[in-house]
Amino acid sequence: MSSPEIASLSWGQMKVKGCSTTYKDCKVWPGGSRTWDWRETGTNHSPGVQPADLEEVVRKGVKTVVIGRGMSEALQVPPSTVDYLKKNGIDVLVLQTEKAVEEYNALAAQGVRVGGVFHSTC
């Protein structure tokens, strides 16, 4: 099962190929995607992305996780989150969201088992 391409990104809107939903923030993994609802884990811009935000993606057997910090990189990624991924043997890339989507799509096109969480506004 391959990771789905992110078909489009603009402020506050993301589309994943093969999915009719328009996301504000999304999670993607080999074979699927869904809304990333920050309320599920109490996520805010600071302290930012928590390991709990990534557990679902990690369980999908990804080799690499790409984290999109937002268009203006307002979303923080604490060292504990990066450590959580590395302890699970997962490579991690933390980038501004437009760059993160480019990197994610490039890895997906190469057949890498890549997942990601992307914030499409600030």
Instruction: Characterize the bridge pairing of strands 114-119 and 25-29.
Output: antiparallel
CA 38 to chain centre: 12
Strand partners, 6: 16
pTM: 0.97
**Domain boundaries of the chain, sorted by first residue:** 6-118
pLDDT per residue as tens digits for the range 20-58:
999 999 999 999 999 999 999 999 999 999 999 999 999
pLDDT of 77 reads 98
pLDDT per residue as tens digits for the range 77-121:
999 999 999 999 999 999 999 999 999 999 999 999 999 999 999
Which CATH number does 6-118 carry?
A: 3.40.1230.10
The runs of H, that is alpha helices, within the chain are: 51-58, 79-87, 97-109
Cα–Cα distance for residue pair 71/101, rounded to 1 Å? 11
Beta strand segments in 1-122, E: 6-10, 13-16, 22-23, 25-29, 32-35, 64-68, 91-95, 114-119
Inform me whether the pLDDT recorded for 8 exceeds 90. yes
pLDDT per residue as tens digits for the range 49-88:
999 999 999 999 999 999 999 999 999 999 999 999 999 9
pLDDT of 87 reads 97
pLDDT of 1 reads 87
